[in-house]
Amino acid sequence: MSNFAELKYGDKSYQIPVITGTENESALDISKLRDQTGLITLDVGYKNTGATSSKITFLDGEEGILRYRGYPIEQLAEHSTFLEVAYLLIWGSLPTKEQLENFANRIKKHTLIHEDNRKFFDGFPTTAHPMGMLASVVTSMSSFYPESLDPHRPEEDVELTIIRLLAKVPTLIAWIYKKETGHPYNYPRNDLNYCENFLHMMFSMPTESYHLDPVIVDALDKLLILHADHEQNCSTSTVRIVGSSHANLYASIGAGICALWGPLHGGANQEVLEMLQRIHEDGGNVDKYVLKAKDKNDPFRLMGFGHRVYKNFDPRATIIKKTCDLVLNKLGINDPLLEIAKKLETVALEDPYFIERKLYPNVDFYSGIIYRAIGIPVEMFTVMFALGRLPGWIAQWKELRENKEPIGRPRQVYTGAVKRDYVNITNRK
């Protein structure tokens, strides 16, 4: 097949190069389009726009495929660990035993937060949303490591920032929880692995250490793996676009956290639980809410349903559903919200509205139920998503810098007023 597509515009025709990726995805390279034709492309919401070429994550929404650096998500969720996946995403290949040990040990050495940075927590009201606190404290970390502000520093310095972020974000999240509950902060423990240490910092009390159940530790590890990257989604594109101005990694990740916050993105896991709770409190009438979701005059949507790219099923939802059953069985929890979730899924999947629009449960439909069973409160769900997404954001920021990508700067089609003269306030009608 020809490596060009032909564009006819006016009385001229132009050859637009076609780029093909390693999984045979094809794209029109329109980077010279404006110079050649005077035209730009318009694609509100970037539904059909490739913003970069990336070697990190492959996603086929029609087939329900997700691979990190070529490895299927199902295999990684079954056999790998979050730290190994983080290494894979950031450095491109699976680590050797020695590399992984070295990586995990370096992370353990950086889990403490500077005591002055800890004081930031005193300034927040107890009602502050965890995402607002996380975004602020992560961004503020750049002030504690000013060398990180230099975008052209040597590779080993960038690596140290990466290690610091992976090490400190779990501590920050656990402290956000402690701030909200008014309980004393727990310091990290180096004898525990990444997820164990996080659960300890969240739930241990001065009077009693948290009991680390391997089923819970494993479920948390899986959830983090499933959220670790998802190619050019809203928050990742934000990290890349902020990074493209050569902003430091802490600032870029802080911006990504803000983008993740919204209910149409990472905030959906909180919204799912709130929706299930609302249906439960309203008598559990699932059909009523399915009708509301279909009613165009009603702003209600089934949260946890639909995805910009998955149009068949979300492979992460399939894995997470199994984990959810395991956790609830192990903890002996009979969650009425899970029953509502299951009913909702059955009704929606058989309804022509959802079938025609290819709306399936996404990863967030079940993640909230697991977090709730573990004891993580609803308002903390999105920071848990941020913890999982951290290696993906880092990997994408690193790739952008290594590719020496130019500053991100979309164009627009202006539809406002044409030129008009300023009118003095006394003469305005």
- Exposure of 252 in the CB half-sphere (CA atoms within 13 A): 31
Nearest-Å Rg of the Cα atoms of the chain is 24
Q: Between residue 158 and residue 217, which ones bind ligand CMC under the rule CB under 6 A?
A: none
Q: Does position 302 bind ligand CMC by CB under 6 A?
A: yes
Beta strands in 63-202 (DSSP E): 65-68, 71-72
307 is catalytic: yes
Near ligand CMC by CB under 6 A: residue from 55, 114, 301, 311: 301
- Under a CB-based contact definition with an 8 Å cutoff, are residues 271 and 303 in contact? yes
**CB 266 to ligand CMC: min, Å:** 6
**CB 322 to ligand CMC: min, Å:** 18
Write 74-79 long-range contacts (CB < 8 A, 24+).
74/315, 74/319, 76/225, 77/222, 77/225, 77/226, 77/319
Q: Does position 304 bind ligand CMC by CB under 6 A?
A: yes
Coil, strand or helix at 257? helix
Distance CA 396, CA 56 (A): 7
Order of all β-strands in the sheet with 26-28: 4-9, 12-20, 26-28
Near ligand CMC by CB under 6 A: residue from 64, 130, 306, 368: 306
**CB 256 to ligand CMC: min, Å:** 12
- Please report the DSSP string for 348-398 in residue order: HHHSHHHHHTT--B-THHHHHHHHHHHT--GGGHHHHHHHHHHHHHHHHHH
Beta strands in 69-219 (DSSP E): 71-72
Residue 130 or 188: which CB sits closer to ligand CMC? 130
Q: Which stretch binds ligand CMC (CB under 6 A): 60-68, 148-156, 325-333, 362-370?
A: 362-370
**CB 188 to ligand CMC: min, Å:** 29
**Structure tokens belonging to residue 81:** 């660990």
Q: Does position 307 bind ligand CMC by CB under 6 A?
A: yes
Q: Which stretch binds ligand CMC (CB under 6 A): 107-115, 126-134, 180-188, 301-309?
A: 301-309
Q: Which stretch binds ligand CMC (CB under 6 A): 59-67, 155-163, 174-182, 304-312?
A: 304-312
Order of all β-strands in the sheet with 71-72: 57-60, 65-68, 71-72
**CB 81 to ligand CMC: min, Å:** 22
Q: Which stretch binds ligand CMC (CB under 6 A): 77-85, 109-117, 303-311, 390-398?
A: 303-311
* Binding mask of the shown chain, residues 260 to 279, with x at each position contacting ligand CMC by CB under 6 A: ----xxx-x-----------
Annotated active-site residue in 227, 230, 265, 307: 307
Q: What is the DSSP letter of 205?
A: B
**Structure tokens belonging to residue 188:** 């990290």
**Structure tokens belonging to residue 68:** 């990190």
**CB 7 to ligand CMC: min, Å:** 27
Q: Does position 233 bind ligand CMC by CB under 6 A?
A: yes
Residue 230 or 401: which CB sits closer to ligand CMC? 230
Distance CA 126, CA 140 (A): 19
364 is catalytic: yes
- Under a CB-based contact definition with an 8 Å cutoff, are residues 201 and 171 in contact? yes
Residue 159 or 351: which CB sits closer to ligand CMC? 351
Residue 112 or 264: which CB sits closer to ligand CMC? 264
**Closest residue to bound ligand CMC by CB:** 306
Residue 108 or 307: which CB sits closer to ligand CMC? 307
Q: Does position 368 bind ligand CMC by CB under 6 A?
A: no
Near ligand CMC by CB under 6 A: residue from 179, 230, 321, 389: 230
Which residues of this protein are in contact with ligand CMC, per CB under 6 A? 230, 233, 264-266, 268, 293, 301-308, 357, 359, 362-364
Q: Which residues are catalytic?
A: 307, 364
